Structure formats: structure tokens, C-alpha cells
A = this chain, B = another copy of it.
């Protein structure tokens, strides 16, 4: 596919540019092939596109210095977190500097009494929850990878808990952002709500590194629930599982998690995580609340799943069983890859209004059943969000072409249902072609105007998110 074989279009580096970086950062400025390759790729199917240099930032001052230097010379600057993005977000399509923020991994301020925490951008979600363990609080957003908070903010990430706790959109309270020219702003304060001016926080959340470099993040925390229980329920078919979810959401039952796995995903997970789940479409639930509240939610959910032919409603009450189950769910992506040894994957996600979910998943599965490669479907179905993982022969262009066609049809189906081309993975390189269909020309022009206003030299993660204007 054309879109998978993009040619890199590097900007010429002015003489002395690299030398100045090296003089400032010493060993923290790397130009070796291996480091550049590592920073020129993510979990997407694209071949790497290498930056000219990688700088390992340790402070806001480092970020400011690099931004000023790139700004002065018109050189591309790509913020890099954990490298776990899925749509080509961090590839250096115009070369330039990859700014690795993973060394900025300090937890700056835990305000337990306000249920907020401020961290440097490189702190990962697991690191954060580890650090919070003794506070009685936790941070719920959990994309599959152990992503960094900066990267999660930049892609507007979510995960399995979003149905109850929201996404990064709802949970980022404030950001410290370094602008294209090196100015530093705070997007908000720690008040729970404010009507004071434009919502700069939400402008940068989901901006994929194209409007500014997120250096610090303040997020909301939640009390660890008094009681937690998890359950698995098997279904005869995909539709019965999804219909159960629709009814649960419409009734407003505050489930903390409700995840769908098709039988392929269950099979892959059993093998990868040494489980023995029944290999049929299933739902994984988690309930948070008081002991009585959890019991009540679970009883209602059991009633609803039973009406839809759900079987083997099985409890995982012990923390270690729950943890095993959710680890397995988080590893579903890696498990899927093992279904076809040596494959590369193309993964896609869409999100639709819940009333259209069964139709959207059903039509998608019927099409994928005709494909010449294996696939799995998993989903944060409580949000109307699901993922397709297509396992492709890296040397067979026909399979790649077929997967791109299927992806295109899936996305168009979601958009036609008043949904979105991506619920949580973001646009990066791979989904730019859908931005116009989803937003329309005029809204896309508004986005371009915002980009031009904040980054007139187009140095911040250039070539991402916004498709080039058509001639």
C-alpha cells in the first residue's frame, strides 16, 4: 500500500546544527544508527524513518533549549515518550530531532488531599500507580502498553477503565507545555473546574505533539475502590455479547470495565497467558464500589447477560486472579501476534454510538471472516470502541493491500454511523486519509489554522495528524 511505504522527506540540516546539540547535551545527544532506528519507529506497520539525532531530555530547560534551537533553524522536532504509539506517530518523516522524554520520570507532587498528581511527561502509568500504592488513590487510564503520561496526553489515550473513569480528555487537569519557540505555559491550575478563558488543556490533549511539547502533566486520581470484583461471561455469538453491553450501558450501571474478546482473541490469550478460558466470544467485567454496591451491580449485569444467553458467569474475587485476568487482557495485542509467527500486524480502532455497536462489530467480523489472514477483535465495548488486529505476512503485498481495504471499509462504516475513525489510537500517519471524511473540509481548515497559529514554522512533529491540503 502506498500509505505504508511513505518516502522520508528530510529537511536539510544547517551546518553546525548537530554540533551545537552535541556541545549542549554531550552523550545525551545520540546520532548512532541503532538509537535513531529505535526512535524512528513505533508499533505501527510502517518501516522506520530515522531522525537525524536523538536528544535525551532531563528537564524542562533541556526541552526549551532544543525547541529554541530547532525553531531558530526550522528543523523538525518530535517528542518521544515510550514509543508505543500504533499509527506512526513518532516517525521522523522530515528527519530532525527526536526528543526522548523518558528520562523526565519524576513524580513532582502528590496532592492526595485533592486527588491530583503532577508528574514529568516521561512517567509511565505503571510507575505512577506503583508510586501511589500507599496513598489509597489510583490513576485509572490504562492503554495496553505501559505508556508515558506525556504520550498518553498527546494521543488522548484511554483503555479499559474509560467507561467508568473517562479518558485522558476528562482526567488531565493541566499541562506544562513548551511551545514551538521555547516559551513555556501552564494550561490550567488545579481547580476542579474553571470558566476562565479558552480550554488550553483540551487543546493540547490529543494534539499528537504537533502544537507543543508536553513536559509535565497534572491528572486526577481516584480513591481505590473499597470493593472490587471481576467476572467473565461467555456467549454463543458476538451479537449476544454486544447486545448485553448495550443494555448494561443504557441502564446506567456504573461498571468499571466491560471488555469484549472474540473467540480468536480468547484463543490467543489462552496460549500466550496460559489461561483456559472458554474459546467463545466473551465479556470481562469489573465492578468497583462498596461491597453492597458491587454486589448490586454484578447481580444486575448477571441478569442482563443471562437474558442474552450468557453462560458460565464466573467470578474472579481474589486480587491475584483479577490481576492475572487483566494482565492477560492487556497482553491481548502481543498474544494476537503469536497466532501467526513471523507476522507483522496492522491494528485499527473505531468508536461508534453504543446503539450501533452490534451492527458495526457484526459487519466487520463478517467481512474479516472472508479475509486471507487471521484477525482478532477486542474492544472497550462500554464506550462503543473496538479494535481489530490483522496478522499479515510482511512479505505479501496483497495481504497488506487487503488489510488496508478492510480498514478503510471499517472506518467508513464507523463514520457513517456517526462515529469516529479512532477511539483512542490517534491519527499519526495511518489515519490521515480519514480526517476529511470524519470532520469535513471546513473543520479540517480550522484545525490547520490552529496548527499555523501555534507552530507557524511547522517544526513540531510535522507531517502528522493533519492531511496535506488537497490541490
Taking beta carbons and an 8 Å cutoff, which residues of A are in contact with B? Answer: 111, 113-116, 155-158, 162, 166-167, 169-170, 179, 183-200, 202-203, 205-207, 211, 222-223, 246, 249-252, 289-290, 292-293, 296, 351-355, 383-385, 414-415, 418-427, 431, 434-435, 438-440, 442-447, 449-450, 452-454, 465-466
Contacts and interface: CB of A to CB of B under 8 A. Distances in A.
Contacts of A383: 192-193
Contact of A419 (B156, B190, B440): B190
Contact of A170 (B158, B170, B353): B170
A296 B292 CA distance: 9
A444 B246 CA distance: 43
B193 A250 contact: no
A196 B427 contact: yes
Nearest to A349: B195
17 contacts: A113-B246, A166-B170, A170-B170, A191-B385, A191-B414, A191-B418, A191-B419, A192-B353, A193-B420, A195-B426, A195-B427, A197-B427, A197-B444, A197-B465, A200-B443, A203-B203, A203-B450
The 4 nearest A-B residue pairs measured at CB? A202-B202, A223-B252, A194-B420, A453-B453
Contacts of A222: 252
Contact of A200 (B115, B170, B447): B447
B420 A355 contact: no
Nearest to A156: B195
B385 A443 contact: no
A242 to B, nearest CB: 13
A170 B290 CA distance: 25
Contacts of A170: 166, 170
A192 B156 contact: no
A131 B447 CA distance: 35
A223 B251 contact: yes
Contact of A353 (B111, B196, B198): B111
Contact of A296 (B293, B384, B434): B293
Given A116-B353, A199-B203, A223-B252, 20 more contacts: A113-B246, A113-B355, A114-B354, A156-B194, A162-B193, A166-B170, A169-B202, A170-B170, A186-B439, A191-B414, A195-B422, A195-B424, A195-B425, A196-B427, A196-B439, A199-B206, A222-B252, A292-B293, A293-B296, A449-B454
Scoring A111, A114, A170, A186 by chain B CB atoms within 10 A of each residue's CB, the highest score goes to A114
Contact of A454 (B251, B440, B446): B446
Given A185-B442, A203-B203, A167 B193 contact: yes
B183 A442 contact: yes
Contacts of A189: 415, 418-420, 438
Given A202-B203, A453-B450, A439 B193 contact: no
A194 B113 contact: no
Contacts of A205: 199
A290 B292 CA distance: 11
Nearest to A289: B293
B114 A191 contact: no
A422 B194 contact: yes
Contacts of A289: 293
A191 B447 contact: no
Contacts of A155: 195
A98 to B, nearest CB: 21
A178 to B, nearest CB: 10
Contacts of A466: 197
B449 A250 contact: no
Contact of A194 (B111, B290, B423, B454): B423
A194 B252 contact: no
Contact of A443 (B166, B185, B192): B185
A189 B273 CA distance: 37
